[in-house]
Amino acid sequence: MNTARAGGQPPFRSLRPDLLLGLAGALALWLGFPNDFLSLPPLVLLWPMALALLGLRAPGRMAALRRGWLVSLAGGTAALYWLALPVHNVGGLPWPLAVPCALFIAACLASAGGLFSLAAQILRARPPMLLALALALLWYLLEAVYALALGFPWLPLAGALAVWPVLVQAADVVGAYGLGGLWLLAALLCLFSLPLIPQAAAPRAFCPRRPATSLATGLALAVLLLAYGAWRLDAHPFRAEPSGPESMAVLFVEGNVDQNRKWLPAFQRQTVDLYLALTRAGLAARPAADRDAKPLIIWPETALPFFFETKPALAALVRDMALEARGPLLFGAPGVERRPGRAEPAIFNRAFLLGPDGATIGHYDKEHLVPFGEYLPSWLNWGFLEALLQGVGVYETGTAVAPLRYENLALGMLICYEGIFPWLAQARVADGANILVDISNDGWFEDTPASRQHLYLTVLRALEQNRWILRGTNTGISVVVDPRGRLTARGGQFRAESLWARAGLSTAPSLYHRLAPWLLPVAALLCLVLLVLGPRGARTSD
């Protein structure tokens, strides 16, 4: 029996390069993002590069879709394995049920990789430079649309690159998703200048007549992105201690409260006492330069695990702390409201701001809730899933989202995962925020890469909006991020502590803030033009 294909190569030999490509792509996705082993941010670009090649080499469209999905599923599962932890540890589901939950989310995200490889297969007749541009635009659109549709934009290319600030400065012009598209365009232009597809399998249009042009263009774009990043960082030197009227002192307090006992009523007073003691210790360690400052004290998301408005005795202790500190106190706690015509009260994931007199200045209610952690989708409202919810039950979407104001502060509030959504930070700045504040609780995920991945996704909002970010957490990582994406102050993880820092205030909008409403429709239009533009119309472009 003759098992050789035309050309005399056995099937397993023709598949071997594709297997290696798939393995390289999955490893690049895993190692590009913060992980438990070794993080190399630029390596993440090999993931979509491998997907593009797999699509071009695939024998058909379904094969391209399948290969892209499988590679992205493998790498995404390795990067997001920690999603199973809260399902098992907090929700109480056994591992045979918890692990498929993580696989399901990874599989949904991986479908974008499958579509990307499919697009490479469909567009393979385009000249290489035109193909690279079309695929880069498509990647941008996939990241943006998946963020809107799935509500879990966790693995954008810029989220990996943000670990090295010089790589992500152009986000102030095109945003995080546009930045990922630009870096991918540079990588694909270089890749497509190489003879990586057998001539017998490659469309004639794909064979570049002048590969040096594609290579030079890709290298020039990469150098331009690096030069712009270096210029911005050099033009705005690192300042860990900004000073002057447009700066502020901050005291972060990390309680490191065990997630498994946090919501038990017996520990409510103990939790309050812990935060009071840590705050007093932090105030006692006040730097000499901030002796007369009124610091903004930040406690994390749901630092107080009870309804603040309905516990007057415990609330009085917190209000007295603001009086003692002589400065505003920001903290997270569940909020409750009685509404006419409703038997059950409305419950919110809320951030309260107290003034130096202990009175409530205002509050912010979380706008973008986490499914299964804060509410159950109506189509999955099964009783056994209720254990996944935090101790207070089902939260409702907030409408009180205006900046919290005190003197010259206009705090644009984000709670937990809201920091990963570009449009929420955009809305806060549009409403007048001169600094962004993200209070979070990553204790659900224990000592895994989740906290670092979450941190660098939030860092991108500082670049996009030209704002400092104050990020206060329960178990870490509390940081101050400057508008260039640099961490000017950083706390530890999994230890109860307080951290003094300084941050700046800004009212100038970034270029991205002005362009954001137009970027997605313009990119979609360009991508559509490139999709319908055949090789005949673009033959001389390469």
Q: Residue ranges of the domains in the chain?
A: 12-235, 247-508
Q: Show the tokens assigned to 189.
A: 């232009």
Angle between helices 450-465 and 511-532 (to 10 degrees): 100
Q: Locate all alpha helices (DSSP H) within 162-301, ordered by sequence.
A: 171-191, 211-235, 268-284
Q: To which residue do tokens 């003034």 refer?
A: 355
Instruction: Please state, in angstroms and rounded to a whole number, the distance separating the CA atoms of residues 44 and 60.
Output: 26
First to last CA, the chain: 44
- Phi, psi values for residue 389, rounded to 5°: -70, 150
Other beta carbons within 10 angstroms of residue 433's beta carbon come to 26
pLDDT at 6: 45
pLDDT at 243: 67
Tell me: cis bond preceding 477? Omega within 30 of 0 counts: yes
Instruction: Please state, in angstroms and rounded to a whole number, the distance separating the CA atoms of residues 31 and 74.
Output: 12
Domain 247-508 class? alpha beta
CB of 146 closer than 8 Å to CB of 93? no
Nearest to 251 by CA among 501, 513, 509, 533: 501
Instruction: Please state, in angstroms and rounded to a whole number, the distance separating the CA atoms of residues 183 and 45.
Output: 8
CA dihedral of 420, 424, 430, 436, whole degrees rounded to 10? -50
pLDDT at 101: 86
What pairs with residue 414 in β-bridges? 438
Planar angle of CA 164, 178, 170, nearest 5 degrees: 45
- Tens of pLDDT along the chain (542 residues) come to 444 444 445 544 556 888 999 999 999 999 999 999 989 999 999 999 999 999 999 999 999 999 999 999 999 999 999 999 888 877 777 888 889 989 999 999 999 999 999 999 999 888 889 999 999 999 999 999 999 998 889 999 999 999 999 999 999 999 999 999 999 999 999 999 887 665 545 555 555 567 788 899 999 999 999 999 999 998 877 666 676 668 899 999 999 998 878 888 999 999 999 999 999 999 999 888 778 788 999 999 999 999 999 999 999 999 999 999 999 999 999 999 887 777 788 889 999 999 999 999 999 999 988 776 665 554 445 444 455 555 555 788 888 789 999 999 999 999 999 999 999 999 999 999 999 999 999 888 889 999 999 999 999 999 999 999 999 999 989 999 999 999 999 999 999 999 999 999 999 999 999 999 999 999 999 998 888 776 544 443 44
* CA 518 to chain centroid: 21
Q: What is the pTM of this model?
A: 0.91
